[in-house]
Amino acid sequence: MIERLDHINIRTTRLDEMIAWYGKFLGMTTGPRPAFSFPGAWLYANGFALVHLVGVDREPGSDPKDLKLEHGAFRATGYQEMIAKLDAEGERYEIAVLPDFPVVQINVWDPDGNHLHIDYHSDEMTA
């Protein structure tokens, strides 16, 4: 039986930039990772390695038939702080309020263009 989503794995030619971005905007930190024969990093939040980065020499293909995962999502708190941080850094984002659900999403794109949304309880919009 499935218990929870374990992680997302991203291949990137911008390993250091991706580590910095996920740290700066999502508060993730690098942590233990098996001694694989390829470069990479596991990024942790709340004790879980949620994002696995794999360093590659060339940009992964972008043919739409090869790309099946459209986005990843994280549940979070600190909506106002995230908006302030994104604004201060000039980062692109889009806000979506879910109709009939108490959820507001901040849609962001990492340095490789991967779409993520950070989900907050809608009460945080007015807090």
Q: Which helix (H) or strand (E) holds 21?
A: helix 15-26
Mean pLDDT of 21-38: 96
Domain boundaries, the chain: 1-58, 71-127
Q: Which helix (H) or strand (E) holds 86?
A: helix 79-89
Superfamily (CATH) of domain 1-58: 2,3-Dihydroxybiphenyl 1,2-Dioxygenase, domain 1 (3.10.180.10)
In sequence order, the β-bridge partners of residue 104 are 97, 120
In this chain, the answer to whether the domains covering 1-58 and 71-127 adopt an identical fold is yes
- Contact call for residues 108 and 93 (beta carbons, < 8 A): yes
Q: What is the pLDDT of residue 64?
A: 60
C-alpha 104/C-alpha 109 separation (Å) is 17
53-72: per-residue pLDDT in tens? 999 888 777 666 556 667 88
CA 88: distance to chain centroid?
19
The dotted CATH code for 71-127 is: 3.10.180.10
Q: What is the pLDDT of residue 71?
A: 85
